[in-house]
């Protein structure tokens, strides 16, 4: 089975459809699948539900899909860097399901592991708990959170081999490993594709069994918040 594709657009061919749910790796602008996001924008796929830690910034990352109004709903932890997100949400143009960061990561991991739900104390007594089942364990109240299964997972890795085994670099690992597992189809973009067997098996973060397609590309190294001292 050939998993290597020549471009992000080719890797997404036959996968996209309106109304789908997409799990996207990344945190801020670190480790985001920017090439796949741009290709989804160019494909014009609409009414998307996207599960991701945040929504990028106004002109980069998932912010590109917000700008073109291709996103119907965000399942996120943090959305503070995106003015267009705020505008759409306050105008009632965008649905938002807030998840604490750990809960969102565990929802992805659980979905990928075939676990339909789990109980957590995070969010008890807040709006996060509204409408969710509660149980008491050892005198503590927990809420039920559902595992998350997406139609498509898009992730960004540092290196991958021809079988889709992936390595992430430092903090760029973030949400990518759980996101990769929870998609019915997973497409990875990497900085470098190496021959099968070139990666140390002990250093592989996402096994290739989870990865359907892989593409190599050039990536920007943006800084989300640049802080410098006065001269």
> In this structure, are residues 96 and 119 in contact, taking their beta carbons and an 8 Å threshold?
no
- The 10 Å CB-count burial string (b at 16+, else e) for 183-209 is bebbbbbbeebeeeeebeeeebbbebe
pTM for the structure as a whole: 0.94
> In this structure, are residues 166 and 155 in contact, taking their beta carbons and an 8 Å threshold?
yes
Task: Please tell me the CATH code under which domain 4-116+148-216 is placed.
Answer: 3.40.1080.10
Name the pairing type of β-strands 21-24 and 48-51. parallel
Domain ranges in the chain? 4-116+148-216
Q: Which residue has tokens 């790796």?
A: 25
Rounded-to-integer distance, Cα 219 and Cα 139, Å: 49
Rounded-to-integer distance, Cα 125 and Cα 129, Å: 6
Rounded-to-integer distance, Cα 111 and Cα 114, Å: 5
CB neighbours (10 Å) of residue 99? 22
User: Going residue by residue through the chain (231 aa), what tens digit of pLDDT does each one get?
Assistant: 899 999 999 999 999 999 999 999 999 899 999 999 999 999 999 999 999 999 888 889 999 999 999 999 999 998 777 889 889 999 999 999 999 999 999 999 999 999 999 999 999 999 999 999 999 999 999 999 999 999 999 999 999 999 999 999 999 999 999 999 999 999 999 999 999 999 999 999 999 999 999 999 999 877 777 788 887
């Amino acid at each position: 089975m050939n998993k290597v594709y020549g471009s992000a657009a080719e890797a997404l061919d036959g996968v996209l459809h309106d109304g789908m749910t997409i799990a996207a790796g990344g945190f801020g602008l670190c480790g985001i699948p920017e090439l796949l996001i741009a290709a989804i924008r160019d494909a014009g796929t609409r009414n998307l539900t996207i599960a991701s830690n945040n929504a990028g910034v106004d002109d980069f990352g998932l912010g590109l899909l917000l700008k073109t109004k291709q996103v119907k709903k965000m399942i996120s932890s943090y959305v503070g860097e995106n003015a267009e997100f705020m505008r759409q949400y306050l105008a009632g143009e965008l649905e938002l399901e807030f998840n604490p960061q750990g809960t969102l990561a565990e929802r992805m991991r659980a979905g990928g592991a075939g676990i339909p739900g789990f109980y957590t104390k995070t969010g008890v007594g807040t709006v996060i708990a509204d409408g969710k089942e509660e149980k008491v364990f050892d005198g503590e109240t927990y809420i039920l959170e559902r595992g998350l299964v997406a139609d498509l997972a898009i992730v960004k890795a540092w290196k991958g081999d021809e079988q889709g085994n992936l390595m992430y670099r430092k903090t760029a690992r973030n949400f990518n490993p759980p996101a990769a597992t929870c998609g019915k189809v997973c497409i990875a973009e990497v900085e470098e594709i190496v021959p099968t067997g070139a990666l140390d098996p002990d250093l592989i973060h996402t096994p290739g069994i989870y990865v359907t397609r892989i593409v190599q590309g050039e990536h920007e190294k943006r800084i989300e918040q640049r802080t410098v001292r006065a001269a």
